[in-house]
């Protein structure tokens, strides 16, 4: 079971913020070997969805994404920095994360579409949530991506 926390940056505890940044570093920088400025200034105005699991009495981050307001990155609102931590992969946490992220984003910005820059190999996964591909594939940090819109 995942406990969801949807917060503004300023409302994240120092522990929660540390865990988010550590897991983003582990997945994006170390695992995917993408050298880019993950801390990009957009976190300050974003809403952050954290999915926590407790296993054997230990609470740990299982999944995370951030929601940016319409106009912050794209004309539409956007969901990005999507991660499922290695320990939570294969548990359904990623599917639960996207479902909850869409629900929270649409409640926060009703009537707006959602744009994502998705890794191309996940096209069918995001398509199952109603996202449609709206760009040709492009290379971003050595990984093929596509823009998708819902």
| CATH label of the domain that carries residue 11 | 3.40.630.30
Contacts of range 100-103, beta carbons closer than 8 Å, 24 or more positions apart? 100/4, 100/49, 100/51, 101/49, 101/65, 101/67, 102/129, 102/150
Range of the domain at 124: 3-149
- Distance between CA atoms of residues 71 and 44, nearest Å: 15
Residue 137: which pLDDT band, with cuts at 50, 70 and 90? very high
Name the residue with higher pLDDT: 126 or 41: 126
Per 3-state DSSP, the chain is made up of helix, strand and coil in percentages (nearest 5) of 30, 35, 35
Only one residue has tokens 């999944």, namely: 63
Number of domains composing the chain:
1
Residue 74: which pLDDT band, with cuts at 50, 70 and 90? very high
The helix/strand/coil state of 150 is coil
Q: What is the mean pLDDT of the chain?
A: 94
According to DSSP, the residues that pair with 54 across neighbouring strands are 59
Tokens encoding 65: 């994404």
Look up the pTM and report it: 0.93
pLDDT at residue 37, as a whole number = 76
């Amino acid at each position: 079971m995942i406990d969801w926390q949807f917060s503004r940056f300023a409302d994240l505890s120092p522990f929660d913020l540390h865990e988010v940044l550590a897991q983003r570093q582990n997945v994006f920088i170390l695992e995917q070997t993408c050298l880019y400025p993950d801390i990009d200034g957009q976190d300050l105005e974003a809403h952050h969805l954290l999915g926590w699991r407790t296993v054997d009495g230990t609470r740990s981050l299982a999944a995370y994404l951030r929601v940016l307001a319409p106009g912050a990155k794209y004309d539409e609102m956007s969901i990005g920095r999507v991660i499922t931590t290695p320990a939570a992969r294969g548990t359904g946490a990623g599917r639960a994360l996207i479902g909850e992220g869409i629900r929270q984003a649409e409640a926060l910005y009703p009537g707006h579409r959602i744009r994502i820059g998705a890794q191309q190999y996940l096209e069918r996964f995001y398509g199952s949530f109603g996202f449609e591909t709206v760009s040709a594939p492009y290379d971003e940090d050595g990984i093929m991506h596509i823009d998708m819109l819902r």
